Amino acid sequence: MDSNFLVGAVNVATTAAREAGKLISQNIVQLDRVKVSVKSQTQNRSELVSEIDLLAEQEVIETLKSTYPDHNIIGEESGDQGTDSEYCWLIDPIDGTHNFIHAHPHCCVSIALRFQGEVVVAVVYDPIRNELFSAHKGGGAQLEGRRIRVSQNSRLKDSLLCTGFPYRSGANLKRWMKTFAGLMPRAQSIHRTGSSVLDFAYVACGRYDGFWEFGLSEWDIAAGSLLVKEAGGLVTDEAGGVDILTSANIVAGTPKVHEKILHIIKNV
């Protein structure tokens, strides 16, 4: 694929992400004015959506459509537009909605471009810290224009890991608890942040050494996985497969740490 096209797509996605990010940063300090509703009810809790999720997603869609009117778009809130195109944008307008609605300053806008089933562009913007992560296939990963790499750590006992709790109860929760019990005494520490996309981004820039989570959606995985891969890390499903967009259970990390996490998950 033409690198000029990919660079251009990164620039358009960056504009979209920054504009959506303004809505987040402006409203996280006045949440009493923000409407929140229940998107769906799970067995143990509610999945919530705020009006800022909807406005931010619409902002991203309008920016992308102004440049790429023929591309398909799948948004977490608006769903699949159903356009017949080899190009498809995957949008999570606020990854970390629960953080956002509690004014916890850890959330982001996630935008990825998929071409013929493969993610080729990624932009992740944290408007609270004003940090923009970006990548395109074959071009490496960047944080605010500076090249980033995964950490050099290879030992699990020296690793800072992160994870996300399975949102729905059932088999995923039981299995996740077993993996947590297997990894906790072997790692230096394990965090849970509430934003899987930023977890991926933090692996890409070396802040975390490894990450695993079960029950993710395609828009949770797309942008962050490309960041990690372009930063020299590995991303697979729980069985080690690389067709990750069709999987919900993901493992990412430095090559050695990824291998060790995967080994434990396979054997719990």
Q: Please state, in angstroms and rounded to a whole number, the distance separating the CA atoms of residues 123 and 89.
A: 11
Asked if pLDDT for residue 113 goes beyond 70, the answer is yes
* Mean pLDDT of the 66-81 span: 96
Report the CATH number of the 3-148 domain.
Answer: 3.30.540.10
CATH of 156-267, one of 3.40.190.80, 3.30.160.270, 1.10.340.30, 2.40.30.20: 3.40.190.80
Give residue-wise pLDDT tens across range 139-197. 999 999 999 999 999 999 999 999 998 876 666 888 899 999 999 999 999 999 999 99
Taking alpha carbons only, the member of 6, 197, 175 closest to residue 99 is: 197
Domain segments of the chain as ranges: 3-148, 156-267
Percentage of the chain beyond pLDDT 90 is 87
pLDDT band at 198 (very low <50, low <70, confident <90, very high): very high
E strand or H helix at 120: strand 118-126
Please determine whether the domains at 3-148 and 156-267 fall in the same fold group of CATH.
no
Whether 119 and 112 have beta carbons less than 8 Å apart is answered as yes
The DSSP code for 242 is S
Query: H helices of the chain, where?
Result: 3-27, 51-67, 97-101, 171-183, 196-204, 218-230, 255-267
Amino acid at residue number 184: M
Beta bridge partners of 147: 142
Amino acid at residue number 199: D
Amino acid at residue number 76: E
